[in-house]
Structure 1
Amino acid sequence: MSTAAEVTLVDFDDVLASYDPAMGLEVHVELNTVTKMFCGCPTEFGAEPNTQVCPTCLGLPGAMPVVNAKAVESAIRIGLALNCEIAEWCRFARKNYFYPDMPKNFQTSQYDEPIAFEGFMDVDIPLEGGGTETFRVEIERAHMEEDTGKSLHVGGATGRIHGADHSLVDYNRAGIPLIEIVTKPIMGSREKAPAIAKAYVAQLRELIVALGVSDARMDQGSIRADVNLSLAPKDQGGLGTRSETKNVNSLRSVERAVRYEMQRHAGILDAGGSILQETRHWHEDTGITTSGREKSDAEDYRYFPEPDLVPVAPSREWVEELRATMPENPTVKKARLQAEWGFTDLEMRDTVGAGAFGLVEETIAAGATPQSARKWWLSDMARRANESGTDIADLGVSPAQVAEVQALVDAKTINDKLARQVFDGLIAGEGTPEEIIAARGLAVVSDDGALGAAVDVAIAANPDVADKIRDGKVAAAGALIGAVMKEMKGQADAARVRELILERLA
């Protein structure tokens, strides 16, 4: 009963009527060290396959590993940010299992002695109508390990091993430093379980970026989430048999995977079946999971201490030195800046949701007002990013340039409509905003002679509108302003045009 075709999904509300969900989230973070965890191979993303390997990360006989000190420092920083205790002494272990992307046939990881343990993160869950609710997620451990290689299954329709003609393996990623952050079972989440999972991974990603230990790009796999889920009969406590959905690589998918697995488990249990403890694959296109392999318990991995590595014993002085360099918590920072900027809860939520929080912050720092910075990034830039399928930060317009364009609007050199053409030029690489304005002839016309002539033409062409203004219906001036702006291709000073119209028709 574990295949999608054989399972009838239960309505989400009906799941909650009969069962209590329990979640566990395992997030793998690739560190941005220059070299790998136990050797000197580079870690650059996107290199030609199997060009960043050596005897150590390939597990060749006689090769000896050496721990990457920068990775240890990053692990401690992550542990401190998650309110963890930092071990005074910890060591690595060998996790033994065979898989083609594991060149050594074991993974060097940490087992019963992680570098960080017993922490927590307070997660803010958005509420309908604005505001948030805080839910505490307890952290069991954050431990160091190495990443595996990457398998490419060729010839099939799905990219999975089933149905493929052959498989290729790229070992460039094998040995890249990882931190695995494991939560304790998340109980009592009920209907909020999908939202809590998404918010936790989102806040964790923000924290990792703020620490500067990883770019945390889910699209490149530098942060990946495994979703463990089980159901137990409602109000009876305890845990059911869990499934583990592997390598979920977007925030939206984390939320959807939790919801889907709750509905799938309930369908199996309602039909009298039992849940198979297994790993599962998430399919972004169809929104379902499919079976991977039966999941081993810890004892099946035959963990034993890594004989080729000495224990890691960070001094308390070093830990305190790192604690003193910790950045402001992103959640605290957002609350502080929201108050400073005067954003409503909805405005702040939209800013963060668009991926524009940091861009707005930098634009304000460059001299723009909070509202003008938010206006450009969440309207014009967000639209362009959506139309081109580009990340908003990769459009080719910097926060400093947005602030410069807004300063030109404030100085009445250009207006908002002309500013959009300036942004076109910036994206096309045509130079600075002032160079683009000069080259394209975008400057606003404020000369009374030219404006007055255009106003006279508009009044003559619209005598009925002119009569309404003479009769005191000043709001009708908008139609004449529009006519003048059209005549002057949007380059008229609208405020001065209005003044001239009212002067002539007073």
Structure 2
Amino acid sequence: MSAPKLIRGYEVVIGLENHVQLSTASKIFSGSSTAFGAAPNTQASPVDLALPGTLPVLNRGAVERAIRFGLAVGAHVAPLSIFARKNYFYPDLPKGYQISQYEIPVVQGGQISFYVGDTKKTVNLTRAHLEEDAGKSLHEDYHGMSGIDLNRAGTPLLEIVSEPELRSAEEACEYAKTLHALVMWLGICDGNMQEGSFRCDVNVSVRKPGQPFGTRREIKNLNSFKFLIQAVNFEVNWQIDRIEDGLPIQQATVLFNPDTGETRAMRTKEDAADYRYFPDPDLPPLMIGADWIERVKAELPELPAVMAARFEQADGLPAYDAQMMTASLPVARYYEAAKAAGAPAKLVANWVMGEISRRLNAEEKGIEAAPVGPALLAKLIARIGDGTISNNAARQVFEALWAGESSDVDALIEAKGLKQMSDTGELERILDEVLAANAKSVEEFRAGKDKAFNALVGQAMKATKGKANPGLVNELLKKKLGG
């Protein structure tokens, strides 16, 4: 295992807490809708408002989604777990406490594996526990006052907590992306970060190598992978500056301002004791029988790691390629559809990781929105394979397909004059002219200089304006030179 990358001589220590909104139609302890975008306070029942005499009733669907996640990450699904009251006072928390889980969570342990570049990393999970969301404070357009919208109050969350095993902003980002893709793959969350369905809290500290953990600060509610990287990098440098100046770092909750690229302290960070956790007397222990777990296991989709192993064994993909083809369910479906249309597996993976990813990243789109679908890509790859076009010409056709110039690969090849010259007689005539015009290169090749052969190939491609089939040019040239 390689030594962690240091920043200004310090090791960065990062752990993530991700709040995943579960994809149930109703809230975790009431029948209120979880639909996004309703008018303020129109989806808040007496239970959500904490009116006297109301009692919570646990949503079975939320539990089932927690089980699904636990099984997917190889965690222990607790046969008995406890709901607790987390006590704090804030205007958008009607009860004055949040129902959560503390000492005995429903999901315990587990692992998430991902790639940073071509290096695989595995991070251990501490836990994943069920809890309710709070409401939302509104501070704009209220004439100097604040409003409270309790539509989110009681929305079911699965809080997923990692061990502090991440060592850079890039690792934290790839971990979060992998987790984001997994919860969508499992169908337990829609993954909409703009609507708050997947939120990242990032605990950051720094230390000299070999020293104990430093004091951590928690960056709250990051809803963009780009902001996650920016926030962590700023926070790391801020902490190092403080330490280098001989100033203490106080445990705190901080917010990231994307306009300035800076973090700022919101409040000093509480410890668990400050929340005065105790078992919720209104909720009995959550009992999950082995039969329930087995039923959920039987209904699980093929998991990314299992699918990646299948792509390695059945398709011959390298481990990195297989991981990339299972980075999300839409990517895996695209890959399999292109393969089913007759394209070789490795070539599909190369295009997905190369040209397609480059364009999607630039346009901030998912692969499901790619203008070049799997069938079109398969046909384009087929035209490379049968020698109709070169790789360079294929990229030109791809650009035209992406831009919507046409959805007909063959018509584009014809219209742009990109068809490779594969007529042996015509090529031999051109090669004879090239050899006659480059006698010096011919002599050098026969004297043992291999570079001279490449020069002759280059001249042949130039003479055909790049349209000659490179493989055929090489083959015919070797014959003519007696190679």
Q: TM-score range by the shorter chain?
A: 0.7 to 0.9
- The 1:426/1:65 distance shift into structure 2, 3 A limit, reads farther
* Alpha-carbon offset, residue 465 of structure 1: 6.5
Compared with structure 1, are the counterparts of its residues 355 and 376 closer, same or farther at alpha carbon in structure 2 (3 Å cutoff)? farther
In the alignment, structure 1 residue 54 sits paired with structure 2 residue 44: yes
Kindly indicate whether residue 57 of structure 2 is the aligned counterpart of residue 78 of structure 1. no
CA shift in 2, pair 1:422/1:60, >3 Å = same
User: Do the aligned partners of 1:418 and 1:442 also contact (CA within 8 Å) in 2?
Assistant: no
**Does the CA-based 8 Å contact 2:218-2:252 persist in structure 1?**
yes
Q: Distance in 2 between matches of 1:440 and 1:465?
A: 27
Q: 2:369 matched to 1:394?
A: yes
SS at match of 1:102: coil
Task: Give the deviation of 1:231 after TM superposition.
Answer: 4.7
- CA change 1:401–1:423 in 2 (3 A) is farther
Q: Distance in 2 between matches of 1:286 and 1:71?
A: 38
In structure 1, give the amino acid aligned to 2:215: T
- What is the aligned partner in structure 1 of residue 253 from structure 2? 279
- State the 1:144 CA deviation: 0.5
Greater relative contact order, per chain length (Cα 8 Å cut-off, separation 6+): 1
Runs of at least 5 residues in structure 1 that lack an aligned partner in the other structure: 1-10, 156-160, 486-492
Q: What is the CA distance between 1:72 and its match in structure 2? A: 0.4
**Structure 2 residue aligned with 1:37:** 28
**What does residue 161 of structure 2 align with?**
182
Equivalent in the alignment of 1:313: 287
What secondary structure does 1:482 align onto? coil
Q: Structure 2 residue aligned with 1:293, among 259, 267, 274?
A: 267
Taking the aligned partners of 1:353 and 1:327, their CA distance within structure 2 comes to: 15
| 1:226 CA drift (Å) | 1.3
Paired residue for 1:12? 7
Q: Which amino acid aligns with 1:179?
A: L
Superposition pairs of residues 107-118 of structure 1, within 5 angstroms:
107-117=98-108
In structure 2, C-alpha distance between the alignment counterparts of 1:195 and 1:339, rounded to whole Å: 30
Q: Residue 129 of structure 2 aligns with which residue?
A: 143
**Matched residue type, 1:482:** K
Partner of 1:209: 184
Q: 1:397 to 1:184 in 2, by over 3 A?
A: same
Distance in 2 (CA, whole Å) between partners of 1:405 and 1:272 is 61
Q: C-alpha offsets along residues 36-65 of structure 1, whole Å, 9 cap, x if unaligned?
A: 2223333344x3443760314641525543
Aligned-partner residue type, residue 282 of structure 1: F
- Give yes or no for contact 1:218–1:249 (8 Å, CA) kept in 2: yes
Give the SS at the match of 2:274.
Answer: helix
Trace 1:329-348 onto structure 2 (pairs within 5 A): 329-331=303-305, 333-338=307-312, 340-343=314-317
Alignment of 1:97-108 (within 5 A): 97-108=88-99
SS at match of 2:377: helix
Matched, 1:67 2:50: no
In the superposition, relative to structure 1, how do residues 71 and 273 fare at CA in structure 2: closer, same or farther (>3 Å)?
A: same
Conserved 8 A contact 1:405-1:419: no
Distance 1:305 1:424, change over 3 A: farther
Q: Distance in 2 between matches of 1:356 and 1:467?
A: 54
The reply to whether residue 173 of structure 1 matches residue 152 of structure 2 is yes
Report the equivalent of 2:445: none
Q: Which moved more, 1:414-423 or 1:387-396?
A: 414-423
CA shift, 1:266, in A, is 3.5
Matches within 5 A, 1:75-474: 75-117=66-108, 119-121=109-111, 123-124=113-114, 126=116, 130-132=118-120, 134-137=121-124, 139-154=125-140, 165=144, 167=146, 169-186=148-165, 192-231=167-206, 235=210, 237=212, 239-251=213-225, 253-331=227-305, 333-338=307-312, 340-343=314-317, 357-358=331-332, 359-407=334-382, 417=393, 424=400, 428=404, 433=407, 468=437
C-alpha distance in 2 between matches for 1:306 and 1:210 = 32
Q: Secondary structure at the match of 2:292?
A: helix
Deviation at 1:73, TM superposition (A): 0.5
For the structure 1 residues 415 and 184, does the alpha-carbon distance in structure 2 shift closer, same or farther, using more than 3 Å as the test?
Answer: closer
Q: Which residue of 459, 470, 479 maps to 2:462?
A: 479
Question: By how many angstroms is 1:33 displaced?
Answer: 2.0
Residue 276 of structure 1 deviates from its aligned partner by 1.9
Relative to structure 1, is the Cα distance of residues 422 and 64 closer, same or farther in structure 2, using a 3 angstrom cutoff?
A: same
In structure 2, the partner of 1:7 is none
Equivalents in 2 of 1:482, 1:429: separation in Å? 24
Change (3 A) 1:103 1:415: farther
Match of 1:145, SS state, is strand
SS of structure 2 residue aligned to 1:213: coil
**SS of residue matched to 2:248:** coil
- Give deviations 1:388-438, integer Å, cap 9, x for gaps: 3433432344334433554566578888747865775677597xx45x867
Output the amino acid matched with 1:173: R
Partners of 1:41 and 1:52 within 8 A in 2: no
Cα displacement string for residues 298-318 of structure 1 (whole angstroms, at most 9, x for unaligned residues): 233343443444432111211
Asked if the contact 1:15/1:262 (under 8 Å) is kept, the reply is no
Aligned residue pair count: 453
Q: Is the 8 A contact 1:57 1:174 kept in 2?
A: no
Residues 481 and 232 of structure 1: is their aligned pair in 2 closer, same or farther, counting only changes over 3 Å? closer
Distance 1:380 1:88, change over 3 A: closer
Q: Distance in 1 between matches of 2:243 and 2:34?
A: 45
Structure 1 CA distance for aligned equivalents of residues 8 and 326 of structure 2: 29
Q: Tell me how large the CA RMSD over aligned residues is.
A: 4.7
